[in-house]
Structures are given as structure tokens and as C-alpha cells.
Amino acid sequence: MKIIKNDKEYELMLARVEELVDMDPEDNTPQAEEFDLLTLLINKYEDEVYPIDIPDPVDAIKFRMEQQGLKYVDMVPYFGSKSRVSEVLNRKRSLSLSMIRKLNQELGIPAEVLIAEPGKGIPEDIEGVDWKRFPVVELVKNGWIDFAGSIQSAKENSEELIRGFFSQADFSLQNYSIFFRKSLRSDKTIDEYGLAAWYAKVLIDQNNIPIENKYKEKVLDNNFFDELRMLSFFDKGPVLAQEYLLKFGIKLLVVPHLKGILIDGAVFFNSEMDPVIGLTLRYDRLDYFWFTLFHELAHLALHLKNNDDYFFDDLSGKKDLTDIEKEADSYAEEMLIKNTVWQKFYKKYLSEEDIKDFARKERISPSIFAGRIQKERDDYSHFRNLLGQNQVKRLFEGTEK
């Protein structure tokens, strides 16, 4: 007995099955075993060569409506409104996952029929996740999600779009049911759904950055920070910093912030244990860029140990800082301007020219000194011309996705 390879063999086996049916063999006889085996071979051939098409989803819905005597108005709970019922049943609107779930659970229409894909089921709903709270419209407008439909249609299909978006990031929402309440620094209320979407975008974009060398924790020594700090002296210092960090296996990328997630930067390990630093550049200033970068590097040097750890920072947040955040602030300040240098400078500077002269002597950006003075005095009205306003984003134009 062998598998069926063509229609001729198929016809011969069908004829033999008919003979065996006429014989009506008893159980456990050679003829009965032959009948069972032939039936399996015939079914396999038919599945491969003559597959049964899955019914059209709309036809299946109309058939179930006819079976149960349901009218258009009875379908409103499944589609949301009379107009949507009409649009779906006239094939002018596709089924959303929420519609599919209701039709499957309450009307018993098979999932693979509604999805129109053999063997495909409905993804499990995730407890505690409200798909409508994700900023799907903003993601579409930003080009982060490729969707050609209307804004209204994007809202209605938010679950499908968000699931597809997060799948690119290798980010399972099941593991983040409370999102990022841990290790989130801010004095404001942060939209955690927006933050999850921003984090996913960073994960997606970092996949496009190949590394030359694997990161080793011991590289974050004083020499590392001294060399990085001196890059601030150059006009293209921020992009030079990006290249410098990559030499040590650290990925630095810019992903603009979304509405309601007023953070400046984040640091975490990806699934390959490569450190990733994401910056939003919501304050387009050189001093803010350098302090944010050094703050995230401080977390990497002092606090980040595995890929379950992450830090999201709104550095304008000053209230109720944890010891970890205070330590990262102090470490960043020390790595940017050594305390001995700061004490020597802070006692003697007189004017903007003094700041520029001292910065040239130390081979670092004057914006770093100006920003530190503003912070120390809690007075942001002085030395604003030295902060490097509108000098960072332009350097990264074309690198944002």
C-alpha cells in the first residue's frame, strides 16, 4: 500500500473501497484493515488536491442570521451600529477582531471562517489591556503603522493594528500587563499606553542597527566617559557620540515622543542583551542631550543588570526621586564635569565669554557648563544663548524612522 500520487491511482483506490464496502468485512480482519488504510490515503489525497474552500465570512454570517431568524437590527450588538451592520454585510467594511470575537462566541461561527484563513484562530484577549487606549491614530499619522484606511477605520481596528505593530518589536503585551509603573521617573501622569507604543518603536528601530562588538560592562570606565564627553566639543558631537557608543556595543537612537509621554530618554537591554538607549529630543538643546545621554549611561553603569530591567526618564521630574535616580543624576554630573573642575570654574566665571573660554580649555561644549549653572541656581533665564537651542534634531534628520 502506498500514497496516492495521481488521479488514476485515486480512482483505482476508490473502486477498491467500493468493493470492500460491498463485502462488509468484520472488524479486525485483513479486509477491514485494508478499508481503514485506503480511507486514510484517499482522505489525505483529497485534502491536498481537492481542498474545500472556506466559506466567505459575510455569507457565513448571513447563513447564521437566516438559521436563527435574525434581522439587521439584531446584529447591532455585534457590529456597533446599524450603519456598520449594513457596511459589513454589503462588504464595504472588514470585520474587526472585536466583531469576530462576538460572532464566534455568541453566534458560534467558526473563527477560521470569520478570519478567512484555514486553521487560524482568534488571538486571546489580554486581561487588563484596553486596545482603544493605544494612540493608534498618532502611530498611523507618524508612519509607524502602515495603514491605508480611514482614521475611523484605524480606530475600529486598533487591536489588529497594535498587535501587528508590537509583533514587529518582539514585545509580548502579556508580560507587561501593568506596563511601566516600575522604573518610570516623572512628576506628571504618563500615558502608559503611549509609552508602551514608544518603547515598541524603539525596539523595532534598534533591530536595524547592527553592532560590531558585543557590549562588555567593564568598558564603562573613566576613560570611556572622558572620551565621550570630549565629543561634545565638536559641532556634530551628538552623532559622533552615537557612532562612538556603537563601537562598544551600545545602541543609541532617536525616536520622537508621543503625546502624553513626556519623557526624555530610556535605557534597557534588548533580547540579545545589547544595551539600547532611546532619546526623544523633546527639548532640542545640546545641554539637555548630553545630560540625558549621560544619565541613561549612568543607569547602564550602575543599575541595569538584565533584560527585565528598564528605566524611563522625564528628567524635568524632581519630586520624590528614588535613591537610584539621585545616584544617576550625581553620576552623570560627575562624568560630564569632574567635581574638582566644577569647583574651580564655578568660583571664577564672570560672563558668557568666561564660560566659552573655560569650555575650550576643558575641550567640552559650553552648553554643558551653562546648563549646569542654570540647574545649580534654579534660574533658567541666564546663558540661554549657550545652551545649543535647536542644534540637535537637525543632526539626526533622516535617521528617524
Predicted local confidence at residue 182, as pLDDT: 60
Instruction: Give the three-class secondary structure for 186.
Output: coil
Tens digit of each residue's pLDDT (9 = 90 or more) over 42-61: 888 777 776 656 678 899 99
Return the higher-pLDDT residue of 20 and 195: 195
- Half-sphere exposure (CA, 13 Å, Cβ side) for 174? 6
What string of DSSP letters covers 320-351? Answer: T--HHHHHHHHHHHHHHS-HHHHHHHHTT--S
Q: Check pLDDT > 80 for residue 84.
A: yes
Tens digit of each residue's pLDDT (9 = 90 or more) over 127-177: 778 888 999 999 999 999 999 888 888 888 899 899 999 989 877 776 554
Grid cell of 369 as nine digits: 557648563
Instruction: Give the three-class secondary structure for 87.
Output: helix
Name residues whose C-beta falls within 8 Å of residue 298's C-beta, 6 or more positions apart in sequence.
Answer: 327, 328, 329, 331, 332, 335
| Residue reference for cell 545616584 | 327
Tens digit of each residue's pLDDT (9 = 90 or more) over 309-338: 889 999 988 888 999 999 999 999 999 999
Q: If residue 45 lies in a helix (H) or strand (E), which one and from where to where?
A: helix 30-49
Neighbours of 393 (CB within 10 A): 16
- Half-sphere exposure (CA, 13 Å, Cβ side) for 314? 19
- Domain limits of the chain? 7-49, 57-115, 131-175, 178-192+205-401
CATH number of 57-115: 1.10.260
Beta bridge partners of 389: 285
| Residue reference for cell 502611530 | 139
- As a whole-number percent, the residues of the chain with pLDDT over 90 amount to 52
Predicted local confidence at residue 177, as pLDDT: 47
| Residue reference for cell 472556506 | 54
Q: Check pLDDT > 70 for residue 386.
A: yes
Burial class (CB in 10 A: 0-12, 13-18, 19+), 55: middle
3-state SS of 359-396? HHHHCCCHHHHHHHHHHHHCCCCCCHHHCCECCCHHHH
Q: Check pLDDT > 60 for residue 107.
A: yes
Helices (H) and strands (E) in the chain, counts: 18, 5
Helices (H), 146-234: 151-156, 158-168, 192-206, 222-230
Calpha distance 249→130 (Å, rounded):
36
Q: What are phi and psi of 124, to 5 degrees?
A: -65, 140
